[in-house]
Structure 1
Amino acid sequence: MRRALFALSSASLPLASFAGGVPTAVIDEVLVSGRLDRLQGTPVSASQGVVSDEQLSLRPVLRSGELLEVVPGLIVTQHSGDGKANQFFLRGFNLDHGTDLATTVDGVPVNMPTHGHGQGYTDINFVIPELVQAIEYRKGTYYAETGNFSAAGAVNMRYRHEMDAPMLVLEGGEDNYMRGVAAAAPEVGGGTLLVGVEYAHIDGPWVLEEDFDKRNALLRYSRAGRDGRFSITAQAYEGDWRSTDQVPLRAVRSGEIDRFGFIDPTDGGSTHRYSLSADWSGSLGPGTASGQLYALDYDLELISNFSYFTDPDHGDQFEQLDDRRIYGGNWEWRRPFDWHDRGQELAVGVQIRHDDIDKVGLYRTIARERFATVREDAVKQTSYAVYSRVDTRWSDYLRTTAGLRADHFDFDVDANLAANSGSASDSLLSPKLAVVLGPWRKTEFFMNVGRGFHSNDARGTTIQVDPADGVTPAQRVDPLVKALGTDVGLRTAVVPNMQVSISLWRLNLESELLFIGDAGTTEASRESERRGIELAAIWNPVPWLIVDADLAWSRARFSDADPAGDRIPGAVENVASLGVAIDHPSGWFGGARFRHFGAAPLIEDNSVRSEPTTLVNVEAGYRFADRYKISAAVYNVFDSNDRDITYFYESQLAGESEPVSDIHFHPVEPRTVRVTLGVTF
């Protein structure tokens, strides 16, 4: 019997922790319910939730990274080749490639600190979408379990442990797009062996064919018992591509290049990510424990040219290199107990991560060939965290969650310039508090306050001189940057078959991380304050239909006085989305999504702004013979000429005598059609 379609989006399921996860039984309980007629779960804010695989499978997504747009208010775009990490926008942040959005897959961190291209770099191309069972999200700084990079929010993608039947998925489309996925989960040795492989080739609509080859593999053995579960997971991802980076508006307007054209034909990159992790959970004394160990091998070589010929003799192309190994683990113990006849739960946890960065470098290149080293470092960065939280049910209408997190970071930098070598360390205590009132008439109210943080690049904590000339003094940055967030919200199911959440939030950050266009890096900047309001609704009028809508407005400003202005470049001010998902018993299925993100200031005085972007994607398909399905998707249905991302900075084209301040943009892809055939065995 097919399960009902309903799955919560902006409405929330209970979240155990990003290390321990959400029990599958909890997700299934909601899926089989079919309709929502009461509040589900015990979240601590109106800004958290879980989205199941049923809803994920009915979202037309052009790139795998767009799966994360199930998080209300989150926008995922691209400004370069598809092999490069996506660009993220959330809560008034231009998050670049992941800064201030902590991302994990089955609890294993994805964000890369002290990265060659940008702090917190988050590449999820290694994820195979068909094998994702759920996406959990938490926005804000109110959760003891989430630490570095989580000031705007945290997302965890969870792979499934088993499958009903082996499957094969084949896709094809315009611009030489082809993709295949094969997966199976046979029973082996009393457990389940999940095997999945993915291959994709993408050229895209670009004048310079992208030639992106993506190769993924997943192998997971898991065994569930009466008291818990054990699993061991190996993943491998390799990718290589050519890039069409953002292009200058003046070159397009003059006809020098097409809007899908390029300036430097030798930009591109290659990367790999190999990982091994082990997870376990079970009873421990009067409580339950969950733990995880992981190890990763990661490499990126990225060739970019954002300013073209400000150096007329050599050009401005550069290479960014990152080569590292990562080792870490998470452990959490939870115990329910009574105190003065009030139900409570205590949770304590430990998180450790060590990044052994053999080489993180920046080089000057011509047509991918190095001719100068700007800087080259070996870095060792280790973080330790302990946390505790207590959940208390004071009455039928009042519960609280109080948490405390302690983080310590050690940095050791061995630079090619001895003056920039050295060590640094920093520690931070982060208290958290959530107060939840209700439910009354199927409505709950939330009040949250908490401290979060992001770490700065280790190289900035020991720097003394500018590596470009080895002489000019450089200012060091604080290792850890505090963020203070507050949130007031509600969620209600007073309307039958509908759940609505509203959140008013505020976030103060001690130092922004801003993208520097001509260097392709992020730099610590000024203090900031953000505030906003988010509205999310999901409606399930019949078991085979979901309608969801999200609206978000934000105001982002630098807090200090500066003649340059107080606007934060790239801070998108409004986001809206509307989606329909259909899975009819007759066999017809599909989805449609309207997605809009508004204008943003591009420089501090707000004199130059980006234009809003609006896209519509649709997909429709049919299942037959209980084994086969075929579907067609149309992306950018109305063939919009909008932009995925816009920057404003100086560049110099061949033939120009000096740099010119100009808008640089990466266009959305034109109307694109793809066809998918799926078979189960």
Structure 2
Amino acid sequence: MDFKSKFLAVGTILLLFQNGFAQDVKKTEADTIHLGKIIINNADFRKQVMQVDLKMAPVNSAQDILRKVPGLFIAQHAGGGKAEQIFLRGFDNDHGTDISVTADGIPVNIVSHAHGQGYADLHFLIPETIKDIDFGKGAYYAEKGDFNTSGYVNFTTFDRLENNLFKIEGGSFNTMRAVTMLNLLSRDAKDKNFYVAGEFNYSDGPFDIKQNFNRINVLAKYNQWIDSKQYISILGSTFSSGWNASGQIPERAVAQGIIDRWGSIDPTEGGSTSRTNLAVNYRYLINENEEVSSNLFYSRYKFNLFSDFTFFLNDPVNGDEIEQTDNRSIYGFDNKYIHRYALENSKITWTSGMGLRFDDIKDLQLSHVFQRDLLLNRLSDVAATEINMHAYTTMDWKIGQWTINPAVRIDHFVFNLHDRLNSIPAGQDASATRVSPKLNISYAQNSNLQWYLKSGMGFHSNDVRVVVQQQGKEILPYSIGSDLGVIIRPTKNMIIQPALWYIFLQQEFVYVGDEAVVEPSGKTRRLGADLSLRYQPFSWLYIDSDINYAHARAIEQPRGEDYIPLVPALTSTGGVAIKTPSGFSANLRYRYMDSKPATEDNSVTARGYFVNDLVLAYGKKSWEVNLLVQNLFNTKWNEAQFETETRLKNESNPVSDLCFTPGTPFAVKAGLSYKF
């Protein structure tokens, strides 16, 4: 189906929705959260807009959690259990190298990970438990440290449940999902809440080799006000997952009929992973102007991944399958102090914090294996520790229509490595420090127009195996960036946010997983423009769109050979949501990614795509039925694409071409929810 046909089909669907359900809007608009109630010069502006997004177009899968961030794209290319590849602001973040991700104060990014620096696997989150999604683009935020170059995302789960919930879903490719959320305390209990949530997922997927994807999630959260000044929250969660994967397949293998689009060259790819989290948050209100808070966290993490990127390139007999293993514990805390000052003509909010993260890496291994079962060669085998201590201070000074926010952050890292293969004893260490100043200024011209200028430095850390090898030199490359933007409310029910931005990165990192190293790729420069639109003409109708342009180049390379592979120049996401007082809702989403260079000279191009999803739901007070249609028009698209040198079993010489993972075809999933 061509673009024109898709456009007409979408228009027809929207017209039917309008004609069929407009009569339901005669009920009061107070029943629905509304964009018109948002104050644009409020410090919580981003969170308020996200709340409207979540209410009008709620998340329906683990992938949707990240897709709610404007301008952020993801790609899955390993059977559903591997962390998604993330694209944001001209960065192919791999699995998290240049985006900081946290959840309930727990860092999600894994430093010195077996598969990729900053690996951020969010599959331990249950979508129905997400209360808030906070995000920011650029490196302008004092509380955010390592990996905060393209931006950050923070997820917060509910403190309390309005209702108990039981949900069951099933659909294409033998997909099954069940969710349960239960309050464990009486609703009459004052100032305290305790609930548990559980999720089970299974899918065979569309591939010729069944994915056998399975995942179990459990979350428990308790919180209470001890007295009028003291609050405590305790969170525990655990998840485990296993899967088979088709991997990235060469285009020539499909063209030659060796396999079809849903086939695989190595049918034994896949893996397993698990993570258990514990977090304790304490808050003390000293007085009406002062408060302190502390967050302690612990994570137990395991990861085992089997991949085959090159097939028979290096080993023509056994193949090139590798196993990556990660086994660690993560300990840490964050403390924060806030003091508010009311002066004669201005207000100041001063915030300072400090914290520590300690990764105790018991096993970090890379092995050459045969079909998962036979170890052929141990390529890397280390144990390590990594400590990140940080402190920051920031001030929000509101004077008249101006808000001035200077800040500075300091991070100190200590790395220690024990290389079991090369007989490097424990105690081989290195350290480094990074200072990151920031300055943000905004001007509220009136209640419907606010200008802002953001600027600051950020950084990303390197893998401990590279750090020790380089003896601690050039291991915390910095970024410098700036945003110039405006928030406009042309009408009460519309918000428009255009912005121009720039990012310079001292050292681009490219992780080479099959060699257990992070390759430095030189200085890079990115500049671009974002346009965000939110429009809610009626309480029941919500329209959103984000258009993002990025021009990304390597500075030290000749013109024409300075492209940054896999960085799209143009992306856009958005949709139309209908939510009537009668209980009917519909959400038609789109995502568009332009073609992007797969090589530095742009001689190989990764094709873009335009994909639509549709969610329909109808519910009353205690129950709801929903229907999710992925890839509504059955578009043939490639989700992940890489230019790779490979060799097939029948080939005498290696070939460099595009390898890809096909995107989800037309798929349907139906569900039933019961609240009590």
* TM-score, normalised by the number of residues in structure 1: 0.90
Alpha-carbon separation, structure 1, partners of 2:432 and 2:155? 30
Structure 1 vs Structure 2 CA RMSD:
2.1
Q: How does 1:243-254 map to 2 (within 5 A)?
A: 243-254=245-256
Is residue 574 from structure 1 mapped to residue 570 from structure 2 by the alignment?
yes
Equivalent pair of 1:50/1:135 in contact (CA under 8 Å): no
3-state DSSP of counterpart to 1:82? coil
How far has the Cα of 1:647 moved from its partner? 0.6
Q: How does 1:196-345 map to 2 (within 5 A)?
A: 196-224=197-225, 225-284=227-286, 286-310=289-313, 311-339=315-343, 341-345=345-349
3-state DSSP of counterpart to 1:187? coil
For 2:643, the equivalent position in structure 1 comes to 648
In structure 2, what residue type is equivalent to 1:331?
A: N
For 1:673, the equivalent position in structure 2 comes to 668
Give the one of 592, 607, 613 matched to 2:609: 613
Is residue 377 from structure 1 mapped to residue 382 from structure 2 by the alignment?
yes
Equivalent pair of 2:38/2:48 in contact (CA under 8 Å): no
Equivalent pair of 1:381/1:411 in contact (CA under 8 Å): yes
Q: Percent identity?
A: 32
Give the one of 513, 535, 538 matched to 1:539: 535
For 1:101, the equivalent position in structure 2 comes to 99
- Distance change (3 Å), C-alpha of 1:123 and 1:57: farther
Q: How does 1:555-574 map to 2 (within 5 A)?
A: 555-562=551-558, 565-574=561-570
3-state DSSP of counterpart to 2:36? coil
Equivalent pair of 1:517/1:649 in contact (CA under 8 Å): no
- Distance change (3 Å), C-alpha of 1:246 and 1:58: farther
In structure 1, what residue type is equivalent to 2:434?
A: L
How far has the Cα of 1:214 moved from its partner? 0.2
3-state DSSP of counterpart to 2:606? coil
In structure 2, what residue type is equivalent to 1:323?
A: N
Structure 2: gaps of 5 or more residues: 1-29
Q: Which moved more, 1:330-339 or 1:612-621?
A: 330-339
How far has the Cα of 1:524 moved from its partner? 2.6
Residues 358-406 of structure 1: CA distance to partner in whole angstroms, max 9, x if unpaired? 01010010011212110111010000110000111121x2110010101
Structure having greater relative contact order (Cα 8 Å, sep ≥ 6)? 1
Equivalent pair of 1:52/1:133 in contact (CA under 8 Å): no
Equivalent pair of 1:60/1:592 in contact (CA under 8 Å): no
Q: How does 1:157-172 map to 2 (within 5 A)?
A: 157-172=155-170
* TM-score, normalised by the number of residues in structure 2: 0.91
How far has the Cα of 1:209 moved from its partner? 0.6
Q: How does 1:288-437 map to 2 (within 5 A)?
A: 288-310=291-313, 311-339=315-343, 341-368=345-372, 369-395=374-400, 397-416=401-420, 417-418=422-423, 422-437=428-443
How far has the Cα of 1:645 moved from its partner? 1.5
In structure 2, what residue type is equivalent to 1:535?
A: L
For 1:470, the equivalent position in structure 2 comes to none
3-state DSSP of counterpart to 1:36? helix
- Distance change (3 Å), C-alpha of 1:609 and 1:31: farther
3-state DSSP of counterpart to 1:480? coil
Alpha-carbon separation, structure 2, partners of 1:66 and 1:88? 13
Residues 134-181 of structure 1: CA distance to partner in whole angstroms, max 9, x if unpaired? 111011111111110110010011100111211101000011100000
Equivalent pair of 1:460/1:477 in contact (CA under 8 Å): no
Equivalent pair of 1:140/1:153 in contact (CA under 8 Å): yes
How far has the Cα of 1:516 moved from its partner? 3.5
How far has the Cα of 1:313 moved from its partner? 2.3
- Distance change (3 Å), C-alpha of 1:138 and 1:50: farther
Residues 266-287 of structure 1: CA distance to partner in whole angstroms, max 9, x if unpaired? 1110111001110122313550
3-state DSSP of counterpart to 1:56? helix
For 1:155, the equivalent position in structure 2 comes to 153
3-state DSSP of counterpart to 2:209? coil
Residues 567-614 of structure 1: CA distance to partner in whole angstroms, max 9, x if unpaired? 101111111112112221111112110110111111111111111111
Equivalent pair of 1:62/1:635 in contact (CA under 8 Å): no
Give the one of 46, 52, 75 matched to 2:73: 75
In structure 2, what residue type is equivalent to 1:528?
A: T
How far has the Cα of 1:187 moved from its partner? 2.4
For 2:22, the equivalent position in structure 1 comes to none
- Distance change (3 Å), C-alpha of 1:60 and 1:78: farther
Equivalent pair of 2:61/2:127 in contact (CA under 8 Å): no
Residues 248-299 of structure 1: CA distance to partner in whole angstroms, max 9, x if unpaired? 0000111111111101111110111001110122313550112100011000
Alpha-carbon separation, structure 1, partners of 2:588 and 2:478? 39
How far has the Cα of 1:420 moved from its partner? 9.3
For 1:451, the equivalent position in structure 2 comes to 457
Alpha-carbon separation, structure 1, partners of 2:582 and 2:230? 38
**Post-superposition, which runs of at least 4 consecutive aligned residues in structure 1 deviate over 6 A?**
none
The structure richer in helix per residue is: 2
For 1:468, the equivalent position in structure 2 comes to none
Structure 1: gaps of 5 or more residues: 1-29, 465-474
Alpha-carbon separation, structure 1, partners of 2:256 and 2:425? 44
In structure 1, what residue type is equivalent to 2:575?
A: G
